[in-house]
Amino acid sequence: MKYYIINTGYFYADGGVMFGAIPKAAWKKRYDAGDANDCRLVMRSLLVLADDGRVILVDAGVGTKQLKKLASYKFSGLLDLRQGLLQLGVKAEAVTDVVLTHLHFDHCGSVTLKDEETGELSLSFPHARHWVSRAQWENFLSPHPLEKDSYFLEDMMPVEEAGLLQLVEADCEMGSSGVSLRLYDGHTPGQLVPYIAAPDKTVVFPGDVVPLAAHCSPAWISAYDTSPLISYHEKIRLLEEAVDKGQQLIFCHDAYTPQTFIRRAGKYYSLYGNF
């Protein structure tokens, strides 16, 4: 089994939103921001080449369909994900599985493509099963008004119409690939967190359960989280296991710290290794 971390591009988010109730005087020491409070974030994907032959992509960045509507996020350095995979020797048609941690636009946008002239939508990974939790799918179809702006139907409806949507009800294994999927709530209902059994360690892709290294402090919770009180407990559940089992975390949005291990440090967690 091999895995590759792929940078699909950057955007900016307001630091006050990223760190919720935490004062700027505190978060500014842990994450860089410009004069306008803007934090540079990355959108990471993961490609897993499993021993059983599966080619698994985790998350897919923002894509290009809604960039005009999302101009305020100042997206830059966007990777054509199909080209990015090709550079790693993988054709888009060879991807067997796409795991979407959740369906916010910065995680699933490039799952579908739009012909600019005809408006026709097509699938980027036409032979892949697309794994989404049932809770997240139901939330996507009828979101709370406060979360609605994070979803675009055109990102995912072609997947469902093609019969390629694999709804996940509970924690599960992806066959004999060595990848298992677990459910976490808080940021949004039913986030999928992939656990990848690499030869020498387990690698975890927490998505927006722990988007930045600075969010390893349990009380540091983004104002984007729809259920922050739940996020607190879910995050501790994930981090405690990561400490106990020596799991490596990959941060999907941290522009400065791609991956790290963690250890307990009093009430908090500190980072070590592989920054």
Report the alpha-carbon distance of residue 176 to residue 171 in Å, rounded: 15
* One-letter amino acid of 45: S
Residue with tokens 């900016």: 12
Position 243, amino acid: V
To the nearest whole angstrom, how small is the minimum distance from the Cβ of residue 147 to Zn ion? 12
The region of 45-53, 105-113, 141-149, 172-180 touching Zn ion under the rule CB under 5 A is 105-113
- Please, which residue, 106 or 225, has the CB nearer to Zn ion? 106
Q: How far is the CB of 161 from Zn ion (least distance, A)?
A: 25
Residue 246: CB minimum distance to Zn ion, A: 26
- Which residues, numbered 183-212, are part of the site for Zn ion (CB under 5 A)? 208
List beta partners, residue 48. Answer: 3, 56
Residues ≥6 apart with Cβ < 8 Å to 266: none
Pick between residue 55 and residue 60 the one whose CB is nearest to Zn ion: 60
- Which pair of tokens denotes residue 51? 């021993």
Question: Closest separation between CB of residue 199 and Zn ion, Å?
Answer: 29
97 is an interface residue for Zn ion by CB under 5 A: no
Whole-number minimum distance, CB 209 to Zn ion, in Å? 10
φ/ψ (deg, to 5) at 74: 50, 55
Query: With CB under 5 A as the contact rule, which of the stretches 45-53, 98-106, 123-131, 150-158 interacts with Zn ion?
Result: 98-106
Alpha-carbon distance of 130 to 100, in angstroms, equals 7
Selected binder of Zn ion within 106, 155, 225, 254 (CB under 5 A): 106
The sign of the dihedral angle between the CA atoms of 141, 54, 210, 186 is positive
How many binding residues for Zn ion (CB under 5 A)?
2
For residues 261 and 272, give the distance between their C-alpha atoms in angstroms, rounded to a whole number: 5
Q: How far is the CB of 43 from Zn ion (least distance, A)?
A: 7
By beta-carbon proximity to Zn ion, the closer residue of 97 and 106 is: 106
Task: Report d(CA 158, CA 165) in Å as an integer.
Answer: 9
Helix H or strand E segment including 234: helix 228-245
**Contact track, Zn ion, 131-170, x by CB under 5 A:** ----------------------------------------
- Burial class from Cβ neighbours inside 10 Å (0-12, 13-18, 19+) for residue 29 reads exposed
Residues 208-237, interacting with Zn ion (CB under 5 A): 208
| All residues at 6 or more sequence positions from 151 whose CB lies less than 8 Å from its CB, including other chains | 103, 104, 105, 140, 143
- Name the residue nearer to Zn ion (CB basis): 50 or 204: 204
In single-letter form, the type of residue at position 219 comes to A
String of contacts with Zn ion for each residue 22-61, x by CB under 5 A: ----------------------------------------
Which residue type is seen at 275?
A: F
Contacting range for Zn ion; rule: CB under 5 A; set: 21-29, 104-112, 132-140, 147-155? 104-112
Least distance from Zn ion to the Cβ atom of residue 208, Å: 5
* Site for Zn ion, rule CB under 5 A: 106, 208
